[in-house]
Amino acid sequence: MILDAFGIEKSYPSAAGPVPVLRGVSLAMERGETLALTGESGSGKSTFLHLVGGLDSADAGRIVVDGREIGTLDDAGRAELRRTTVGVVFQQFNLIPSLDVAANIAFQARLAGRADPVWNAELAGRMGLTEHLTKYPEQLSGGQQQRVAIARTLAARPKLVLADEPTGNLDEATSDAVLALMLDLVAETGAALLVVTHSTRLAGMLSRQVLLRQGVLA
Amino acid sequence: MNARLAVLLAFWPLAAMPQGFAGLGTDAEGFALPQPEPVFDFPADHGSHPDYRIEWWYLTANLDGADGWEYGLQWTLFRSALAPEAGEGWTAPQVWMGHAAVTTPERHFFTERLARGGIGQAGVEATPFAAWIDDWQLAGTDFDTLRMTATGPDFGYDVQLTAEGPLVFHGDRGYSVKSAEGQASYYYSQPFYALAGTLTLPEGEIAVTGSAWLDREWSSQPLAETQTGWDWFSLSFDTGDKLMGFRLRQTDGADYTSATWIEADGSTTAYPDGAFTADPLETAQVAGREVPVHWRVTLPDRGVDVTVEAMNDRAWMTTSIAYWEGPVIVSGSHRGRGYLEMTGYE
Amino acid sequence: MTEAVLGALLSHWRRNLLQLFTLIAGLALATALWSGVQAINAEARASYDAAAETLGEGTFAQIVAADGGAIPVSDYVALRRAGWLVSPVVEGRLDGVRIVGLEPLTAPGGLGPVELGGDGDITAFLSGEGQVFGPREALAALDGIEAERTESPGVAPGTVITDIAVAQRLLGTDTLTRLIVAHDQPIGRPALGEAAPALSLREAQDASDVERLTDSFHLNLTAFGLLSFAVGLFIVHGAIGLAFEERRAMVRTLRAVGVPLRRLVAVMAAELTLLALVAGALGVAVGYVIAAALLPDVAATLRGLYGAQVAGSLELRPSWWLTGLGIALAGTAMASAAALWQVARMPILAAAQPRAWALRTGRGRAVQAVGALLLLALAGALAIRGGGLATGFAMLGALLVGAALLLPILLDAALRLGARFARETVPHWFWADTRQQLPGLSLALMALMLAMAANVGVSTMVSSFRLTFTGFLDQRLASEFYVSVEDAAEVEPLLTFLEPRVDAILPILWVDRDLAGVPGELYGMRPHETYRENWRFLEAEPEVWDRVFAGEGVIVNEQMARRADLVLGQPLLVAPNTSLPILGIYGDYGNPIGQAVIGEDLFGGLYPEAGALRFGLRLPAADVPALRDALRDFGLPDGAMIDQARIKAFSLEVFDRTFAVTGALNVLTLSVAGFAMLMSLLTLASLRLPQLAPVWALGLTRAELGRLELIRAVLLACLTALLALPLGLALAWVLLAVVNVEAFGWRLPMFLFPADYARLGLFALIAALLAAALPAFRLAQTSPATLLKVFSNER
């Protein structure tokens, strides 16, 4: 099992008191599994993904990723987890604007100590980025930027890829193509993939779908 | 400035000197060396001998003040040559140093002057006799009647000296051996000066009378390398006899001593190493060091066995090279007073 | 990992060269101004020390030939043989080098090259060809001489020291230049006139006098250096803040992909250290150039004003490099602490969009306002409490930072006021838009204000000093001509000679004595209109002169009053058993010693043995040359005559040199501030497009927009300059009334120089105009396509 989340609760403070976002969510994923977490805006799916990625901490519950319980890790431990085990693809493309495409793709793998030029080149080829390697992010279209972000995540060969609306800024045709490519590559590396999306059409492309409604799994 | 220290290192007798004899009568740098059986030529020999490395005119006196106190007085002019020639102008290789002191039972006043030779600031002339540095002088028509003056920031004196006896010669007719290896100097004295004059002290002027002892000595290699310092005594006994004795201390702890017994008429007996003894009985803490200020002095051949005690322990001369020089009181087999000089206690 | 992170962070600079340039240039300029000023100070101090050590100048009395010529060696010997402890010095120039020949055996302690001590070879110094000691360049100039040359950096610049025999040979003379008089002299010494009638004694100028006066000059330079550094720091702060804001997204990404926070902060700190070292090294190099360019003027000032010898050329000392780099690092740390703190505390999921980095929320602005007011209150409290030089500087700091923090708030209020009164659309938009620009420009404007204030402050101080000092010279040198004699016996014939030739003779009569427990001088003054007309009191009772001349009271100088806490009416002991009420306190600048003045008759009764040897003479200024000739014929040497007009002309010339230095520093600091503005405007320019494009679309031409940008810069500079003026005056007040009093014991009155301020304001406007010109020109040249992109691109 790559992910085992149990009884996750999370609320955010507001002027009117704490607003509960997750109210006891339990979810497990096997290695290699692809799963779509769907739900309406505000249903708590992005929050769940952030918690799994160690970007935020839960109020209650237990999250175990690749055998490690996130709640027991300090900042450095979580950073290490993100660097080596989990890869996050954000809705905003989150590239480093001052590095060119090749450097962006290689970046996370270098941090994880797994830089593999051959693999990087293959990823760039598969993503159709080969001719853009020396360009800077601002010179790319949205779809191209998201492909760079996905390639950067996969370059580090994470065991669990988390994607938050990875195609939310793309048109339908492009987003289908990007997701299909992502699924192919994930399958090749043997990673598990958790995609947060509000699109049931995209969710249908993944092996399992889970619906989150008002902070609990439906 | 430490330069003055360096000057003195070059000319104080304790400094290391070239010991080898490069030729008969001269050393490696061309300085003349004292020879045995000297024949003095007076008054010329009262003047300076620039071809010898060092020379001094050294006067000490024991005085009685009109105020009832006893006083000690010192007037010294040293000459040191950087090269064996008199020279003229600023380039003359002769350096002069004057020391003056007045010792009271409670205080010790002293001061120092330095001067270059060659320009007239300091020097010694034989006829008429005059030794001077700055405003200090020891001068007269001849060597028997002299006026002596010196001033310092807080004291001064102006006295007349009248010789009441002949010159006396130490060692072998004035050739005074200073070590077993044969280092020697020319050495004679005038120990029979009667003195009268005035001391100027912070309290005011004091009329004094007393007796003074003048030493004349010159050489180019006075001490052996193994000698660390000396203790020199000039004692005048109530009997009219006088005793000059010195002890040269050696690094091995042994002494080299020499003495001259001077009778009231000036006739002398010289004593070789060992006849005269001087042993410290007591030391005092003076200017941060232990200095013997109480001695047992003997000359068994003359039945002398006396204790010699400093009139004022603090007679330390904090001059460029520091030493102790002060009046002493003699008791025991003989009574009297005199002067003690101790060097090498730094 | 560190390498990858550092690479990512540094890549920001590669893509934003302008920002990098701003940061490095700002820091380098700040360091340069600071280290340049420090270099000048250090060089000047080193020169005084060398002079004091090698020559004892100022600390010993000197004897010179009365006719100003050479002294024969026989005179020296005569003086020594009379009991005067003097040491001969021969001086002259050879191949442009000052040769000083000393006599080591008689030179008073503390004189001569240090190397002579200890293991030095005195025989070599005294005999043969001799030895010459001096700094390298002086030795190099003496290529041809045979004496052994020894490098000795402790010897004064351009000078070599050698034995007197060697010096005489080198200079081809057999005479002496002067004699140094030892402090301790033996008793019973005759008067100089008796021992050597052709020589005259020049009393020692107390070393501490020179030191204290030059200290005043250096302190002011240091304050200026500090202010310049503060201006530079604002630039650095701005550049670093901007860089951090622009990298918020990058920071978030780095953390999201697994860079630990602590590592990230450490790497950012390392990055800044690296930049600071580069900028610091550049700054020290530029500082060296500034110092080298200004040093000759500073040297001339110090030489002229205080007679202090300072090398005109600069030596590169390792300590400057170190302190320069240190100050650059410290400045960077100060400027970046807040930004690093923010990064350390920023939640990982915080919005990645750059918040306009200096844009304050309502609450932030309130905090800033409160902080500013607290600092200003602190400055005020320190001003009232007083006490200590450190307090003075703390006060300066609080005042400046407080005022700088307050600036954006005051400007905002002014702009809001402007907007309220603007009825037309475009002006209304202009005011509102300017307000919106304010946060982005406020740091640059703060820098401009500080630069302006520093310039107003320092020029006010220097000008006030000049005015006061020349006024003081008028007071102190009220007589047209001064004569002095060596000996009381010469007084009668001189006075008899002068009586029919001048309007009045004012004897200068004094004794040294303790006044209110401190060593001082008591003067007896002859009743005369001269004093009434010229002397200015800081405080005085009515009819003060009548009462002083009548022997009913005493007047004291300011130093004395401050040191002993004297007030009007308090009795002062002027002689054993005689005390008089204090009737007045007068300003006495450039003199650290306490003084008191009583009437001549009373003085004569109290100190009958004191006779005047110096006299002030009143006569029509036009008759001075004739009198001088007559006195020369009478037999008075030139050295014994002082012409008041010449002294004044000389001191004014000295001040002009000082102005050359402060003027150059003024231009430099204003340039720095202008540069800060240029950088801010350039970095803001790209952010401005979305704000300007709609206005363009609504019908303003690009040229109009560019013109408005220029007007905006001028408007902001004008407002800033207006606010800088009171700050600068406050600064000047602190320097004159607090720092000077603490450091030197006298308070300089402050004068205002509106024309100077107007000129400075004009410079500030020009700086702002120049800074805005390039961005405005660029805006006017922006292609319509670029502006249109704003609408198509969602950015």
Domains belonging to chain B, first-starting first, are 50-342 (2.40.370.10)
Give me the pLDDT at residue C298, please: 66
Establish, for the pair of chains A and C, how many residue pairs have beta carbons separated by less than 8 Å.
77
Give me the pLDDT at residue C48, please: 58
Is B22's pLDDT higher than 50? no
| Long-range contacts formed by B150-153: CB under 8 A, 24+ apart | B150/B75, B150/B98, B150/B100, B150/B111, B151/B100, B151/B111, B151/B200, B151/C83, B151/C186, B151/C187, B151/C188, B151/C189, B152/B100, B152/B109, B152/B110, B152/B111, B152/C186, B152/C187, B153/B111, B153/C184, B153/C185, B153/C186, B153/C187
Q: What is residue A130's DSSP assignment?
A: G
Of C179, C13, C208, C4, the closest CA to residue C86 belongs to C179
pTM listed for this prediction: 0.54
C260 → closest Cβ in A79, A98, A112: A79
Q: Do A80 and C260 touch (CB under 8 A)?
A: yes
Helix (H) or strand (E) holding C603: helix C600-606
Mutate to test the interface with C, among B17, B116, B154, B321 (most CBs of C within 10 A): B116
Let me know: does C716 contact C272? Beta carbons within 8 Å.
Answer: no
Is C362's pLDDT higher than 60? no
Q: Which residues, listed in sequence order, are joined to residue C512 by a DSSP beta bridge?
A: C521
Which residue type, as a one-letter code, is found at position C607? Y
Count Cα neighbours of C142 within 13 Å in the Cβ-side half-sphere: 28
pLDDT higher at C432 or B310: B310
Tokens of C292: 């080298």
> Which of chain B's residues have a Cβ under 8 Å away from the Cβ of C107?
1
Give me the pLDDT at residue C743, please: 63
Is B131's pLDDT higher than 90? yes
Of C125, C140, C58, the closest CA to residue C95 belongs to C140
ipTM of model: 0.91
C11 → closest Cβ in A53, A82, A98: A98
Give me the pLDDT at residue B9, please: 38
Strands C504-515 and C614-618: antiparallel
What is the mean pLDDT of the segment spanning C60-85? Answer: 87
Give me the pLDDT at residue C670, please: 76
Phi and psi at residue B80, in whole multiples of 5°? -135, 135
> Which of chain C's residues have a Cβ under 8 Å away from the Cβ of A112?
258
C253 → closest Cβ in A75, A83, A96: A96
Q: Check if C103 contacts B (Cβ < 8 Å).
A: yes
What is the mean pLDDT of the segment spanning C317-329? Answer: 80
Assign residue B287 a region (left: φ > 0; alpha: ψ between -120 and 50; beta: otherwise).
left
Give me the pLDDT at residue B250, please: 86
Distance between CA atoms of C195 and C76, rounded to whole angstroms? 10
Distance between CA atoms of C116 and C53, rounded to whole angstroms? 13
Q: Which of residues 37-96 of B touch C (CB under 8 A)?
A: 82-83, 89-91, 93, 95
In terms of C-beta density within 10 A (0-12 exposed, 13-18 middle, 19 or more buried), how is residue C529 classed? exposed
Give me the pLDDT at residue C657, please: 61
Q: Check if B155 contacts C (Cβ < 8 Å).
A: yes
Q: Check if A136 contacts C (Cβ < 8 Å).
A: yes
Give me the pLDDT at residue B26, please: 56
On average, the pLDDT of chain A sits at 87
Phi and psi at residue B267, in whole multiples of 5°? -75, 145
Distance between CA atoms of C79 and C92, rounded to whole angstroms? 23
pLDDT higher at B115 or C537: B115
Give me the pLDDT at residue C215, please: 63
| Domain edges within chain A | 34-57+73-217
Q: Do A94 and C259 touch (CB under 8 A)?
A: no
For the segment C612-631, what is each residue's pLDDT rounded down to a tens digit? Answer: 888 888 888 888 888 888 88
C123 → closest Cβ in B10, B121, B132: B10
Count Cα neighbours of C175 within 13 Å in the Cβ-side half-sphere: 11
When mean pLDDT is compared across B98-107, C647-656, C778-787, the lowest value belongs to C647-656
Residue where the block lists tokens 């920001």: C12
pLDDT confidence tier of residue C209, bands split at 50, 70 and 90: very low
What is the mean pLDDT of the segment spanning C153-161? Answer: 75
Q: Which chains form contacts with chain A, at 3 or more CB pairs under 8 Å?
A: C
Residue where the block lists tokens 């330095």: B114
What is the mean pLDDT of the segment spanning B40-68? Answer: 94
Q: Do B3 and C125 touch (CB under 8 A)?
A: yes
Strands (E), chain A: 3-12, 19-29, 34-38, 60-65, 68-69, 86-89, 160-164, 192-197, 208-213, 216-217
CA–CA distance from B25 to each of A156, B36, B45, B109, C123 (Å)? Answer: 98, 10, 18, 40, 24
**Which range, A201-215, B89-103, C763-777, has the best average confidence (pLDDT)?**
B89-103
Distance between CA atoms of C225 and B40, rounded to whole angstroms? 77
**Which range, A203-212, C39-48, C292-301, has the best average confidence (pLDDT)?**
A203-212
Q: Do B4 and C110 touch (CB under 8 A)?
A: no
On average, the pLDDT of chain B sits at 88
Is B202's pLDDT higher than 50? yes
Distance between CA atoms of C382 and C109, rounded to whole angstroms? 45
Phi and psi at residue C522, in whole multiples of 5°? -110, 125
pLDDT confidence tier of residue B339, bands split at 50, 70 and 90: very high
> What percentage of chain C exceeds 70 in pLDDT?
81
Q: Check if C325 contacts A (Cβ < 8 Å).
A: no
When mean pLDDT is compared across B125-134, C202-211, C268-277, C565-574, the lowest value belongs to C202-211
C352 → closest Cβ in A80, A83, A92: A92
> Which of chain C's residues have a Cβ under 8 Å away from the Cβ of A145?
none
> What percentage of chain B exceeds 90 in pLDDT?
72
What is the mean pLDDT of the segment spanning B218-231? Answer: 80
Q: Do C4 and A90 touch (CB under 8 A)?
A: no
> Which of chain C's residues have a Cβ under 8 Å away from the Cβ of B154?
187
C258 → closest Cβ in A80, A95, A136: A80
Q: Which chains form contacts with chain C, at 3 or more CB pairs under 8 Å?
A: A, B
pLDDT confidence tier of residue B134, bands split at 50, 70 and 90: very high
Q: Do C122 and B10 touch (CB under 8 A)?
A: yes
Q: Taking the CB of residue C656, how many other CB atoms lie within 10 A of it?
A: 15
A99 → closest Cβ in C8, C257, C261: C8
What is the mean pLDDT of the segment spanning B26-46? Answer: 86
Give me the pLDDT at residue C53, please: 52
Is A85's pLDDT higher than 70? yes
- Regarding chains B and A, contact by 3 or more CB pairs under 8 A is answered as no
Q: Do C187 and B200 touch (CB under 8 A)?
A: yes
pLDDT confidence tier of residue B2, bands split at 50, 70 and 90: very low
> Which of chain C's residues have a Cβ under 8 Å away from the Cβ of A113?
1
Is A24's pLDDT higher than 70? yes
For the segment C371-408, what is each residue's pLDDT rounded down to a tens digit? Answer: 889 988 988 888 777 666 677 778 888 888 889 889 98
What is the mean pLDDT of the segment spanning C692-702? Answer: 78
Q: Do B115 and C165 touch (CB under 8 A)?
A: no
When mean pLDDT is compared across A213-217, C299-303, C495-499, C705-709, the lowest value belongs to C299-303
C186 → closest Cβ in B6, B121, B153: B153
> Which of chain C's residues have a Cβ under 8 Å away from the Cβ of B114?
105-106
Strands B130-133 and B136-142: antiparallel
Is B13's pLDDT higher than 60? no
Distance between CA atoms of A217 and B5, rounded to whole angstroms? 99
For the segment B150-177, what is each residue's pLDDT rounded down to a tens digit? Answer: 999 999 999 999 999 999 999 999 999 8
> Which of chain C's residues have a Cβ under 8 Å away from the Cβ of A54?
none
pLDDT confidence tier of residue C683, bands split at 50, 70 and 90: low
> Which of chain C's residues have a Cβ under 8 Å away from the Cβ of B200?
187-188
Distance between CA atoms of C357 and C248, rounded to whole angstroms? 10
> Which of chain C's residues have a Cβ under 8 Å away from the Cβ of A103?
7, 11
**CATH architecture for residues A34-57+73-217:** 3-Layer(aba) Sandwich (3.40)
Let me know: does A62 contact A69? Beta carbons within 8 Å.
Answer: yes
Q: Check if B329 contacts C (Cβ < 8 Å).
A: no
pLDDT confidence tier of residue B11, bands split at 50, 70 and 90: very low
For residue C105, give the chain B residue with the closest CA: B114
- Regarding chains C and A, contact by 3 or more CB pairs under 8 A is answered as yes
On average, the pLDDT of chain C sits at 78
Give me the pLDDT at residue C211, please: 53
Give me the pLDDT at residue C319, please: 73
For the segment A131-176, what is each residue's pLDDT rounded down to a tens digit? Answer: 999 998 888 888 888 889 889 888 888 999 999 888 777 778 878 8
For residue B9, give the chain C residue with the closest CA: C122
Let me know: does C554 contact C598? Beta carbons within 8 Å.
Answer: yes
Give me the pLDDT at residue B268, please: 95
C12 → closest Cβ in A53, A92, A98: A98
What is the mean pLDDT of the segment spanning C707-727? Answer: 88
Q: Check if C8 contacts A (Cβ < 8 Å).
A: yes
Q: Do C105 and B116 touch (CB under 8 A)?
A: yes
